[in-house]
Amino acid sequence: MPNPTDATDSTDTETNPEASTTDADEFTVTPYAVSGEVDYEKLLERFGATSLTDDQLDRFPDHPMIRRRTFYAGRDVNEYLEAAESDDPHAIVTGRGPSGPMHLGHVLSLYLARRFQRETGATVYVPLSDDEKYLAKDQSFASIGGHTRDNLRDVLAVGFDPENTRIVIDTADADVIYPIAVRLANYLTPATVEAIYGQQDTVGLQFYPAVQATHLLLPQLVAGRQPTLVPIAVDQDPHVRVCRDVAAKEALPVEKPGALLGRFLPSLEGPGKMSSSGDAPSIELTDDPETVAATVNEHAYTGGRATLEEHREKGGDPSVDIPFQYLRFCFEDDDEALELLRCEVI
Amino acid sequence: MPNPTDATDSTDTETNPEASTTDADEFTVTPYAVSGEVDYEKLLERFGATSLTDDQLDRFPDHPMIRRRTFYAGRDVNEYLEAAESDDPHAIVTGRGPSGPMHLGHVLSLYLARRFQRETGATVYVPLSDDEKYLAKDQSFASIGGHTRDNLRDVLAVGFDPENTRIVIDTADADVIYPIAVRLANYLTPATVEAIYGQQDTVGLQFYPAVQATHLLLPQLVAGRQPTLVPIAVDQDPHVRVCRDVAAKEALPVEKPGALLGRFLPSLEGPGKMSSSGDAPSIELTDDPETVAATVNEHAYTGGRATLEEHREKGGDPSVDIPFQYLRFCFEDDDEALELLRCEVI
């Protein structure tokens, strides 16, 4: 439990120590672990975020992940929308932890950011947290460096506007990152970090949340106060909450960053978060079309009924049929075409 | 107490958790606090360092602070001496925490390093830990930045060989420092930091020992394995011990740095460590001769007897007479001249 004299006593705090712990054996969602069947609405209560309103959905640039509520909740979304509508400066931060090859689940928020950039001119920052992955994963610095270079190619392939996009690699750009992180670290207690992330094994992992907070404030520190939106899978929300807490301490001239929280792309093998641990099959961004087809054919969970008889009787269940879900998440933009596909599954 | 599964269970550990705690109300010596009357020999037992032998004294370049055992103890001193005698690469690291103006007590190890550099060609690294001072002192980043620039001038005025000296400022040179510190931080547990430095209020201070360890390994990381000697006041020895612990984990291709441990220059007002807190009078490096004379005349503790009568009867006590002690520490090189002065005090 946090010390009541520490950061968590801030009246402005959003780092509720209960937020990321398991709720009566139901499900766990933290930046380092997701288990159980996630109740996305209950998660908002835990985290203190709010569902997107219909009005907000209409005001975002049109995208299937917005329209279909894959990104379904947020924090301070209106400030971002107002700046985007008024042609005022506004920014998006969405990054990557380079611990292995990037797969489809990693790229969804980048696709969304690209869409927003093209529609309203958002500046996009893409931090690659090689420091965190070195500290959190049992890999050498050289191995993480290799993944960083490979992931960088995948990020570039997304097609951002080079004039309006900045890619940051924590160790390579430490001259920018570290001095800011030190300033933020002065407002972040070990007790707060433990309350949000659990006990950390090394002082590197204790310090890292200050680096993460730096990422989310970079657009404002480079170009002045402006609404910043962070589109991320909902399990990464604690990072945003830490940053908002620290930003509120007025260590630096910034506003709190907002968040746009997304559901997990389901695993090829069925409901649950797509794994990047390497043992579960997944579609990597560098796979060629034949490999993608073979992976889907071999591994994708389809139909959703217990037996062939039940499937023949009731038809498939689109809510768990993985090929349909992947198309619905992002890869079939046309709602009518998607509805036809849904009917085919049933 | 540290967790026995943490760093302190290393068979190679030097981070004895008892080392920096108070010993039966006698005295306390840690990097952040010195109090009581310091027993320098007992301190070596606590810290696990060893007194310099007569042979070692003879092998160092001649300097009053060596000859008179102001620097009186060390770790792995022979390795350094052998490299210096063989013209093999060898280095010295001695830095400065820029929290205010530099005074005489801060410059002694720099003078020693300059002497060694001139005599045997040691490469000298001078890290300025602006990050630590921002985190540890109640000052703005801008204020610490001002002291850093001022201290830098004082360091340059020492007269190091520009070709063979590197000055490092933690935040300005973060592109070099941070990636190494991350690698070392992976081998440093919160329990180890707490055992050595006590509980830290922020994750910045938790992380800083990894930055300090980086300083001491820089010569080897830049120019390959080589004996590195760290001349410091004895209260800073815990930093060396942390670095030696981490270096032993083989995260990087380095040898453990050695240490040369010095006594404290006494305060102008009498026995004890010279204070830099600002409220005690001290001689700043930028003071002109008139100011130095006035400060000494006004504040220096002299004589050492309780009353004028006792002084007239027994004479002064050179062991506590501050003008004599300052001359003895460093500022009167000639032993015969010093002996004449000693006789004058008595």
Interface confidence, given as ipTM, is: 0.87
Q: What's the sign of the alpha-carbon dihedral A193, A198, A201, A204? A: negative
pLDDT of amino acid A206: 96
Residue B199 and residue B188: Cα distance in Å, rounded?
Answer: 15
Residue A184 has φ and ψ, to the nearest 5°, of -75, -35
- A20: which 2 tokens? 């990321």
Residue A244 and residue A15: Cα distance in Å, rounded?
Answer: 9
In the numeric block, the tokens 């398991």 are attached to A22
* Residue from A65, A47, A135, A140 nearest A97 by CA: A135
Of the candidates B141, B187, B207, the beta carbon closest to that of A207 is on B207
Domains, chain B, ordered by start: 7-264 (3.40.50.620), 270-345 (1.10.240.10)
**Tens digit of each residue's pLDDT (9 = 90 or more) over B14-28:** 544 444 444 454 777
- Report the first-to-last Cα separation within chain B, whole angstroms: 49
**Tens digit of each residue's pLDDT (9 = 90 or more) over B210-222:** 999 999 999 999 9
Asked if the C-beta of B182 comes within 8 angstroms of chain A's C-beta atoms, the answer is: yes
Residue B321 and residue B325: Cα distance in Å, rounded?
Answer: 6
Asked if the C-beta of B200 comes within 8 angstroms of chain A's C-beta atoms, the answer is: yes
Contact, A71 vs A126, CB < 8 A?
no
Residue B245 and residue B217: Cα distance in Å, rounded?
Answer: 12
- B225: which 2 tokens? 């394995």
Q: Which of the four pLDDT bands, split at 50, 70 and 90, describes residue A191?
A: very high
Distances (CA, A) of B126 to B122, B175, B186, B215: 13, 17, 25, 8
pLDDT of amino acid B281: 84
pLDDT of amino acid B308: 78
Residue A153 and residue A91: Cα distance in Å, rounded?
Answer: 22
**Tens digit of each residue's pLDDT (9 = 90 or more) over A207-263:** 999 999 999 999 999 999 999 999 998 888 888 999 999 998 877 889 999 999 999
Q: Which of the four pLDDT bands, split at 50, 70 and 90, describes residue A173?
A: very high
Asked if the C-beta of A206 comes within 8 angstroms of chain B's C-beta atoms, the answer is: yes
Q: A15-24, A257-266, B97-106, B307-316: which range is least confident on average?
A: A15-24
Residues from chain B that touch A212, judged by Cβ atoms under 8 A, are none
Asked if the C-beta of A253 comes within 8 angstroms of chain B's C-beta atoms, the answer is: no
- A135: which 2 tokens? 């500290």
Of the candidates B131, B186, B193, the beta carbon closest to that of A135 is on B186
Query: How close is the nearest chain B Cα to the Cα of A27, in Å?
Result: 29
- Mean of the per-residue pLDDT values of chain A: 87
- Report the first-to-last Cα separation within chain A, whole angstroms: 49
User: What percent of chain A shows pLDDT beyond 90?
Assistant: 64
Residue A275 and residue A264: Cα distance in Å, rounded?
Answer: 10
E strand spans, chain A: 27-30, 33-36, 50-51, 71-75, 91-93, 123-128, 165-169, 228-233, 258-262, 266-267, 270-273
Q: Which of A131, A207, A208 should we substitute to test contact with B (largest number of B Cβ atoms within 10 Å)? A: A207
Contact, B109 vs B245, CB < 8 A?
no
pLDDT of amino acid A209: 95
Helix (H, G, I), strand (E, B), or coil: what is residue B288?
Answer: coil
- Category of B278 on φ-ψ map: left (φ > 0), alpha (ψ -120 to 50) or beta: left
